[in-house]
């Protein structure tokens, strides 16, 4: 299986079960949609842990409409910092992210600039400073970020 779309399913803490599958070295999932699934910052921890242990295949992660907030984003940043991470698209629209989450994302992208090409933060509580941090990365030719939606 290369794509898994669980959009609209109320997974909540069942993300922990999904994380067990993602940790499996035989898992070759490239695209994962978990939009409006009730993912929280706590279940984000399990997801991030799984992706850190097997991050070499996932190219696209959608978490639109989940209230993961800055804490969940910080947990995902550990994945983005991993040099084995191949994530190219990350969609965090309407996830309760603030400037603190933007700062964490910017830091993670600076430490591993080679893959993320698309970042969607539309509908979050971003201030000018957070948007500026990420816009600067988008405008810098050393980073691959091509699309930034805020």
d(CA 113, CA 144) in angstroms, rounded, equals: 6
> Which residues share a beta bridge with 32?
4, 61
What's the token pair of residue 81? 């910092």
d(CA 69, CA 101) in angstroms, rounded, equals: 8
Could you read off the pLDDT tens digit of each residue along the chain, which spans 150 residues? 899 999 999 887 788 888 888 888 888 899 999 999 999 988 899 899 888 887 678 999 999 999 999 999 999 999 999 888 889 999 999 999 999 999 999 999 999 887 899 999 999 999 999 999 999 999 998 888 999 999
pTM of the prediction?
A: 0.94
Give the CATH number of domain 3-149; options: 3.30.160.40, 3.80.10.10, 3.30.2020.10, 2.40.50.140: 3.80.10.10
What's the token pair of residue 83? 């040099």
Please name the residue that has the structure tokens 């040099």. Answer: 83
What residue spans define the domains of the chain?
Answer: 3-149
Comparing C-alpha atoms, which of 62, 65, 59, 70 is closest to residue 29?
A: 59
Count of beta carbons in the 10 Å neighbourhood of residue 122: 13
What's the token pair of residue 150? 């805020």
């Amino acid at each position: 299986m290369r794509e898994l779309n669980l959009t609209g399913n109320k997974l909540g803490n069942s993300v922990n079960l999904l994380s067990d599958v993602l940790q499996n070295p035989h898992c070759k999932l490239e695209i994962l949609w978990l939009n409006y699934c009730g993912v929280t910052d706590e279940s984000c921890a399990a997801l991030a842990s799984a992706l850190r242990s097997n991050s070499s295949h996932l190219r696209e992660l959608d978490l639109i409409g989940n209230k993961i907030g800055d804490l969940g984003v910080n947990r995902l940043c550990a994945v983005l910092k991993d040099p084995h991470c191949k994530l190219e698209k990350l969609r965090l629209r309407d996830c309760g992210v603030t400037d603190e989450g933007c700062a964490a994302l910017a830091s993670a992208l600076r430490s591993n600039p080679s893959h993320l090409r698309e970042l969607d933060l539309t509908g979050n509580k971003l201030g000018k400073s957070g948007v500026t941090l990420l816009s600067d990365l988008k405008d810098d030719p050393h980073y691959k970020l091509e699309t930034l939606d805020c």
